[in-house]
Amino acid sequence: MSENTYANLTGVIDAIINSAALVKHMGENSEFEAVNIEIIKNLIDFAEKGRKKDIHHMSTIGIIYGTKMNQERTIFTEYDDITEEGLTNQYFLSKEKAERLLFEARKRGIQSNIYRMSGILFDSKTGKYQRNINESTAYIYYRNLYKLGIIPADIRRKMDISCIDKISEAVIKLVLIKGHLLEKKNLCQPIKKLRNFDIVQ
C-alpha cells in the first residue's frame, strides 16, 4: 500500500474490525507475537492517525485461565480484571497482551470493544471448517478421541461450541449499535463452566 493510500484511509475510516489472528494453540512465542500482538500495535497506530477510529477486537475467553486459578470456584464477567499470571499457553498470553494494549489506547482516546469468544468451529449451514484444520487444537482433540473410540471419564464434560457464521452475525449486530460501547463482551453460551469458572454475560 502506498503512503498516499494509507494517509487517505486514515481520514475516511471510522471503525476497524480485527479478526486477524494466529489461532492455533501450539507454536513458538515469536509466531504469536508477530501476528496477535504486532497487528494490534499497527491497528492502534492507524486508529490514532487522522480521524479517530473505534477498534472492534476479537479475543478469547481462554484468557480467564490467568485469573484466580487457586480458588475453588470463580465467577468471571466482562467487568473482571485479567492477568497473565497462571497463563502458560502462548496463544492465550498473546491475546491477553493484545487486550492490555487496547486498554492503554483507551487512555489516549481510542475507543475499543473486545469480544471474547469460545469454541469457534464450523459454519452451521455448510459445515465448512477453517483452512488450517490440522493446526486446530479442537479438531486434533476430537479427531483423536474418535480414533481412540473412547472418551476417558475425567474429560467427559459439556463443550461450548460456537458456529462461525452465528458468531459473525452476533458481532456485526453489536458493532452496528450506534454509540454503544461494550468495552468487553463474552460471546459464548449464557453460563459456561470452564474448569473451575462460571462465565457469566
Model confidence at 122: pLDDT above 60: yes
At residue 191, the pLDDT reads: 43
Which of 10-14, 26-30, 142-146, 160-164 shows the lowest per-residue confidence on average (mean pLDDT)? 160-164
At residue 95, the pLDDT reads: 92
Question: How do strand 112-117 and strand 184-187 relate by DSSP bridges?
Answer: parallel
Count of the separate structural domains present in the chain: 1
Residue 35 — very low, low, confident or very high, per pLDDT cuts 50/70/90?
A: very high
Q: What is the mean pLDDT of residues 172-190?
A: 66
At residue 184, the pLDDT reads: 58
Residue 179 — very low, low, confident or very high, per pLDDT cuts 50/70/90?
A: low
Domain containing residue 55:
3-200
Residue 67 — very low, low, confident or very high, per pLDDT cuts 50/70/90?
A: low
At residue 133, the pLDDT reads: 78
CA distance 165 to 146: 25
DSSP symbols for 102-139:
HHHHHTTT--EEEEEE--B-S-TTT----TTGGG-HHH
CA distance 114 to 34: 20
Instruction: Return the C-alpha cell found at 87.
Output: 497463563
Q: How many CA atoms lie within 13 A of 158 on its CB side?
A: 8
At residue 89, the pLDDT reads: 81
- Domain containing residue 186: CATH number: 3.40.50.720
